[in-house]
């Protein structure tokens, strides 16, 4: 939540900066128009809000999953059907360390391994004030996440339990979005964008003891991006 508060502060600061721009700059920008193609490059924080149970041998709850944040470059493309309505497709991939927070008395945490996510997300957007320097927007759409490079940690915890193989199921999810474009000069703009992806996956892990740990994990990440855009 602290990171999201910082993102909101950055949005306010960006808007304030645009508001005090010099008169000469205020005349030198191009508003959003039907037929525009907008390409952005963003620095993106991927912040999972994970929840779920680790179920051992189909019956015993032994803990819950933990997934770390990642910070990546991201590229996105938008096409404007009208001055206000556009669709956006994002492209980027993140890699995460996954652990199990094991219940007391069961040997502490266990390293599950690492996994990479490729989450193409398509959203339909409504852009407010498309001819103004500061143009916020909202959007909603669909996500399909591909899991790959599923590397098991193969590292023993306090009681010698090791994860030797993992499998993550690819899944569809929903996406909500809000952001703002601030025109700089010509066709260039500054962008701040926040997405919430509602994503679940089924994880199956094999242990060195020949047993199975499964989890139906809600990942539900926030995607917070700051970047630069150019419209063609």
Widest pairwise Cα distance in the chain? 70
Give me the domain span that covers residue 110.
Answer: 32-231
- Helix spans in 38-118 (H): none
> What's 186's domain CATH number?
2.40.160.20
Q: Would 20 be classed as within a structural domain?
A: no
Pull the structure tokens for residue 170. Answer: 């690819």
Q: Write down the residue that tokens 């008395």 correspond to.
A: 105
Cα 12 from Cα 157, distance rounded (Å): 46
Cα 178 from Cα 223, distance rounded (Å): 11
Q: Would 3 be classed as within a structural domain?
A: no
Q: 130 with 153: CB under 8 angstroms? A: no
Q: Would 159 be classed as within a structural domain?
A: yes
- Residue partners of 27: CB distance under 8 A and separation at least 6: none
pLDDT, position 23: 46
Q: Write down the residue that tokens 């990440």 correspond to.
A: 221
Per-residue pLDDT of the chain (232 residues; tens, 9 = 90+): 455 555 555 555 555 554 444 444 445 888 999 999 999 999 999 999 999 988 888 888 878 899 999 999 999 999 999 999 999 999 999 999 999 877 665 567 889 999 999 999 999 999 999 999 999 999 999 999 999 999 999 988 877 888 999 999 999 999 999 999 999 999 999 999 999 999 999 999 999 988 898 999 999 999 999 999 999 9
Cα 100 from Cα 95, distance rounded (Å): 17
Pull the structure tokens for residue 49. Answer: 């809000």
The total domain count for the chain is 1
- Classify residue 110 as left (phi > 0), alpha (psi -120 to 50) or beta: beta
The alpha carbon of residue 125 and the mean position of all alpha carbons in its chain are separated, in whole angstroms, by: 17
Q: Would 165 be classed as within a structural domain?
A: yes
């Amino acid at each position: 939540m602290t990171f999201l508060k910082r993102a909101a502060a950055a949005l306010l600061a960006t808007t304030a900066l645009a508001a005090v721009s010099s008169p000469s700059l205020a005349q030198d920008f191009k508003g959003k128009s039907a037929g525009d193609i907008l390409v952005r490059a963003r620095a993106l924080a991927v912040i999972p809000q994970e929840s779920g149970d680790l179920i051992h041998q189909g019956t015993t709850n032994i803990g819950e999953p933990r997934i770390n944040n990642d910070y990546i470059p991201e590229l996105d493309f938008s096409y404007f059907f009208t001055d206000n309505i556009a669709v956006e497709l994002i492209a980027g991939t993140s890699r995460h360390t996954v652990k199990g927070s094991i219940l007391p008395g069961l040997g502490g945490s266990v390293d599950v391994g690492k996994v990479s996510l490729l989450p193409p997300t398509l959203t339909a957007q409504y852009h407010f004030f498309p001819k103004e320097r500061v143009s916020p927007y909202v959007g909603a759409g669909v996500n399909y996440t591909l899991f790959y490079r599923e590397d098991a940690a193969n590292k023993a915890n306090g009681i010698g339990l090791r994860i030797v193989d993992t499998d993550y199921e690819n899944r569809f999810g929903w996406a909500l979005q809000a952001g703002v474009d601030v025109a700089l000069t010509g066709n260039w703009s500054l962008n701040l964008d926040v997405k919430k992806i509602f994503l679940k996956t089924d994880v199956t892990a094999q242990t060195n003891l020949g047993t199975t740990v499964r989890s139906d994990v809600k990942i539900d990440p926030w995607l917070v991006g700051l970047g630069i855009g150019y419209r063609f």
